[in-house]
Amino acid sequence: MASIAPVANHGREHWNPVHALGAKVLSFVDGLGELTVFAYRIFVWLVSSLPRRGVLWTNLYEIGVCSLPVVLVTGTFIGMVLAVQSYDQFRIMHLESRLGAAITISLVNELGPVLAAVMLAGRVGSAMAAELGTMRVTEQIDALRVLGADPIHYLVVPRFLACVLLIPLLTVMADGVGILGGWWVSTQILDVDSHHYWFHTNNFVAPYNVFGGMFKSIFFGAIIAVIACHRGFHCGPGAEGVGRAATSSFVLSFLSILILDFFLGIIVLEGYYLLHSVFPAVM
């Protein structure tokens, strides 16, 4: 049987959109499989052996404490921007006294968790990918294996735990300063009564909204850590490979955050309806 040769055009292969699409799909599936196996190895180590306390504390400081300034500044100005942009629409409907409720519910449900995660992906995720990528290029990861240490347990698990444990706290802080920033602009610049701002905030925002945002942030932190460390472990050679690993880490983390936010938002909403049907007086 004659073999099927690629269509040639003056000595070069003819570009076929079907082949190109198939190659992209296969590459995506292959990358997703690698990421899944990588995440599975992280969870196996989490169950079997936690990292040393000294290594964990170092990562907690680098990921949590050092990220605090940018998260606080971002949260503050997002709350202020929400107040400025929403005021005219509420004033037209004579609902400016309810501006606090709109700002707070927007922050705790969506903007707080998502913005904290994006800041973490930009500042921490890219740095982790670049650091681990440099270790890959300089063969430090291979040296760990030669010394008998598992690189995932020693390098990845502490970073994963730090991201998962601290991003809910960063989210709460972003929510808090955003609410205060919105309150300051609403009362001091837009002449909204402070009593009404807090009264309607207390009436319209339930503790479930805050915990729902924190619940989503845990998954955001986990996917940021997994993607960033995976990109670092599988970066290309040289400085160009490290740069691409850092860039792809942020891009993939950002897209994953948005996709996860959609599905987790549905889960949180369904959970609210379920709890409301069981405990209507509490919810």
List CB contacts of 231: < 8 A, sequence separation 6 or more.
Answer: 129, 132, 133, 245, 246, 248, 249, 252
User: For residue 122, with 0-12 CB atoms within 10 Å meaning exposed, 13-18 middle and 19 or more buried, which class applies?
Assistant: middle
Instruction: Round to whole Å and give the CA distance between 164 and 120.
Output: 11
Backbone angles phi, psi at 243, to 5 degrees: -65, -40
Specify if 28 maps to a domain: no
- Helix runs in the chain, H state only: 17-48, 53-60, 68-92, 99-106, 112-120, 126-137, 140-146, 151, 157-188, 194-204, 207-233, 238-278
Specify if 91 maps to a domain: yes
Reduce the DSSP state of residue 52 to 3 states and report it. Answer: coil
Specify if 180 maps to a domain: yes
* Amino acid in the structure at residue 266: I
Q: How many domains, in total, are found in the chain?
A: 1
Which pLDDT score, from 0 to 100, does residue 3 have?
47
Which pLDDT score, from 0 to 100, does residue 219 have?
95
Specify if 12 maps to a domain: no
221 vs 281: which has the higher pLDDT:
221
Which pLDDT score, from 0 to 100, does residue 48 have?
85
Nearest to 170, CA basis, from 67, 85, 247, 254: 67
At 245-271, the pLDDT tens digits run 899 999 999 999 999 999 999 998 888
Specify if 30 maps to a domain: no
Instruction: Round to whole Å and give the CA distance between 166 and 173.
Output: 11
Backbone angles phi, psi at 235, to 5 degrees: -80, 160
Specify if 2 maps to a domain: no
CA angle at 221 for the pair 121 and 205, rounded to the nearest 5°: 105
With a cut of 50, say whether residue 223 has pLDDT above it. Answer: yes
Specify if 19 maps to a domain: no
Reduce the DSSP state of residue 237 to 3 states and report it. Answer: coil
Q: Cα(first)–Cα(last) distance of the chain, in Å? A: 71
At 60-105, the pLDDT tens digits run 888 888 889 999 999 999 999 999 988 888 888 888 888 888 899 9
With a cut of 80, say whether residue 6 has pLDDT above it. Answer: no
At 133-189, the pLDDT tens digits run 998 888 888 888 888 788 888 889 999 999 999 999 999 999 999 999 999 999 898
Instruction: Round to whole Å and give the CA distance between 162 and 59.
Output: 6
Q: Give the domain range for residue 219.
A: 38-278
Specify if 5 maps to a domain: no
Which pLDDT score, from 0 to 100, does residue 282 have?
56
Backbone angles phi, psi at 192, to 5 degrees: -85, 135
